[in-house]
Amino acid sequence: TTPVVLNGISCKDAFALSPDGDLRRCKSTASASIGSVKDIPAGSWISLYKGGALRRVEVAKPMAMNGYSCKGYHNYFHENGQLMKCQLGEDKEIDKTLHKAGAFLCWDNKGKPVADCKMIGKEILD
C-alpha cells in the first residue's frame, strides 16, 4: 500500500521479482532514469532484464526514448540499451520517409532499422 524502492525504482501497487530477488517489473511511483532513458514518469510500468538494464517501458504519454518520441505499451529495448521497438508518439521523418504517430519502428541490437517488426518477436517474448 506504500511505495517501496526496489533496484532504485520506487514501486507501488504491483511488482514482480526474479528468482534471485531482483526487480523484474513494477508500476513506478516516482520519475526514474534507467540507462539512456531519462525521466520515465511516475505511473509507468517498467520492466528490467536480469542484470538491471531496461527491457520495456509502458507510458501513457509520449516521451523521449533514445532520440525518438515513444508512447504506449510496446516500447522495448535490447539488453545493451539499444531501442528495439517504439510506438511513435509523433510523426517522424526518417530517410525521407514520413512515419505517422502510432506507427511501430524496430531496430536490431546495433541500432540498425528492421523493416518488419514481426522479425523481432523472439527477443520480446524471452
Mean pLDDT of 62-87: 95
Residue 46 pLDDT: 97
Counting residues of the chain whose pLDDT is more than 90, the rounded percentage is 76
Question: What does the block give as the cell for 46?
Answer: 517498467
- Reply yes or no on whether the pLDDT at 120 is more than 80: no
- For residue 12, count CB atoms less than 10 angstroms from its CB and return exposed for 0-12, middle for 13-18, buried for 19 or more: middle
- Reply yes or no on whether the pLDDT at 23 is more than 80: yes
Give the chain's mean pLDDT.
91
- Reply yes or no on whether the pLDDT at 122 is more than 60: no
Question: What does the block give as the cell for 61?
Answer: 504519454
CB 105 within 8 A of CB 88: yes
Mean pLDDT of 29-45: 96
75-106 pLDDT, tens digit per residue, is 999 999 999 999 999 999 988 999 999 999 99
Sheet of 113-114, strand order: 4-6, 9-17, 23-28, 45-48, 54-65, 68-77, 83-87, 104-107, 113-114
